[in-house]
Structure 1
């Protein structure tokens, strides 16, 4: 169950019963830790963790649209709602530690958001580390946002109603794109939705100690992902890599920030919510004290969990209010 919180967040006595059952099933099967795998092996492992639905959730249409960037191509997947354009639009940046994750892996999530929020969703297949280190994935996401603005007429996008969202490393990228957009002044968003985001290159929070292992994402995994993403220690100090280190969070769009009790990243999400609030940014901090990292992907049987559906509904409520 979620609740609106201030600065302090904690974990319930134990995870939600459905999540507990899932963790027990996963614990019964031998699984290699992510940090022990090569990037290629990690990608294959993560893709295999989440089952494909027998039938994808129906929406009006889905289009794959590649866009060119210097040195490569960024695949986008555009989800069209059962509505008439121009469409309010959500740019979605997937999680996976900047090194794993894909458009296919997040297809159920993006379909669910399209349907629940009645908006277009543009899912971004940014290039992954370590082949493409910081700031390339960030610049890919920024380029995708530019494409959304520039393609508004052709794609029937309502430029007065554009939000950006992401989970985990995608939440990091969403926060960073929002900061970068304010700095460059090219465009702005009507809301940023940060779902258990990575926000600081630091591992000394209480939630990192409490949830170092045992709840899907581990402290060792996060150290591994950061090492793959950053070029050097200097990068870790950049607010575009560690948004919690930004000196100024004023004049940013309203934020929805989701944290989970049994997540190493819980406390940095709560800290960012507090810092945004202190900068007079409107924040809706949604905390699942019995939730775990990765919750928004748990939408397909046998992992179709009640709290995951609740999370989709709560995020969609914020988006619908924003787009009204």
Structure 2
């Protein structure tokens, strides 16, 4: 399903004009800060800021999005109640370097309303100021505290879902591995949207065709991914650590029920799909879908876009057990069914 030629030309030009991310990330952060200030709050969602103390004394900022049911009648007046079926712990994307809870406020508001779940967005410490393994350690500790009821008193641990996009998908997968290995808590469900799972994105050496097919003209380039990893890693050996690249983990057993969603024109497409297959091969319950005509990062698009609406349909089906049926032209491919 080819992308419109004019759109493809714009994507290609933007990708090729973008400077090296190692020099550009600070400028991108500043631009994201400006865009975040333009976000309009939706009255159907209550937004609160809290924090989680880390073992070293640092306070990780969390933003909590609670969907509301607003009812008005002439008899009883305005009645506002919470309308939440569980909690999503969200780890944002941005190559472990960009993105934050402010930049993702609009996306998390839409997530809370469309999925009818409270969303807790994590402002983990970013590279290069805080390199690997700081981000996964922050996310792990926030997860532990949330499941233990230390952050929000009414959390049902059985209904907590880890969710992340891109580098955030990497962090969700890594937290699940850390939880299994350390044995302090169990993660029951995770959702990974176009996640980073591998360590080699050089078109000349990568195992994955999507790096060669989609690594130049679709906004996120293979050069960008390499630059982000260089900013994230503390030392070269980190690139071979499964907590850095979870596809390197030889044993993917005892992992949560998992949904992986990839984008057709994303360089990370194949490694995400292989990760889902590996989970299934090691005995896990995994589902995997490829959203057609989509590029990396589309979660941040307005929800009027069909690719965003289709993604939420897939997620709701996964979370709620509803039947997932396509209408008209295929909007996604099911790569892997429930194991």
For normalisation by structure 1, the TM-score amounts to: 0.86
2:168 corresponds to 1:170: yes
* Alpha-carbon spacing, 1:86–1:103, altered in 2? closer, same or farther (3 Å): closer
Match 1:73 to one of 50, 55, 59 = 59
CA shift digits 1:45-80 (9 cap, x unpaired):
455678944x33343411100222215221000111
Partners of 1:85 and 1:66 lie apart in 2 by: 23
* Alpha-carbon spacing, 1:50–1:261, altered in 2? closer, same or farther (3 Å): farther
Contact 2:166 2:196 (C-alpha < 8 Å) held by counterparts: yes
Match 2:158 to one of 160, 163, 178 = 160
Contact 1:152 1:159 (C-alpha < 8 Å) held by counterparts: no
2:287 corresponds to 1:272: no
- What stretches of structure 2 of length at least 5 have no aligned partner? 69-80, 323-339
Match 1:61 to one of 46, 61, 74 = 46
Contact 2:67 2:83 (C-alpha < 8 Å) held by counterparts: no
Mapping 1:198-277, distance limit 5 Å: 198-203=196-201, 204=206, 205-277=208-280
* Alpha-carbon spacing, 1:22–1:77, altered in 2? closer, same or farther (3 Å): farther
Contact 2:11 2:217 (C-alpha < 8 Å) held by counterparts: no
Larger Rg: 2
How many angstroms does 1:25 deviate by? 7.7
SS of 2:287's partner is strand
* Alpha-carbon spacing, 1:209–1:65, altered in 2? closer, same or farther (3 Å): same
SS of 1:98's partner is coil
Partners of 2:99 and 2:317 lie apart in 1 by: 26
Contact 1:207 1:263 (C-alpha < 8 Å) held by counterparts: yes
* Alpha-carbon spacing, 1:232–1:176, altered in 2? closer, same or farther (3 Å): same
SS of 1:291's partner is coil
* Alpha-carbon spacing, 1:29–1:226, altered in 2? closer, same or farther (3 Å): closer
CA shift digits 1:186-223 (9 cap, x unpaired):
11222110000000101212111111211110011001
How many angstroms does 1:36 deviate by? 5.6
Contact 1:86 1:156 (C-alpha < 8 Å) held by counterparts: no
Count matched residues.
Answer: 304
Partners of 1:194 and 1:187 lie apart in 2 by: 20
Partners of 1:34 and 1:59 lie apart in 2 by: 40
Partners of 1:78 and 1:85 lie apart in 2 by: 14
User: Which residue number corresponds to residue 312 of structure 1?
Assistant: 312
Mapping 1:1-324, distance limit 5 Å: 12=1, 14-15=2-3, 17=4, 21=7, 24=10, 27=13, 32-35=18-21, 37-47=23-33, 52-53=38-39, 55-69=40-54, 70=56, 72-82=58-68, 84=82, 88-151=86-149, 154-203=152-201, 204=206, 205-299=208-302, 304-321=304-321
Q: Which has the higher contact order (CA 8 A, sep 6+)?
A: 1
Deviating more after overlay: 63-72 vs 249-258 = 63-72
Partners of 2:261 and 2:16 lie apart in 1 by: 30
How many angstroms does 1:268 deviate by? 0.4
CA shift digits 1:143-170 (9 cap, x unpaired):
1112212336853111221110100000
How many angstroms does 1:295 deviate by? 1.0
- What stretches of structure 1 of length at least 5 have no aligned partner? 1-11
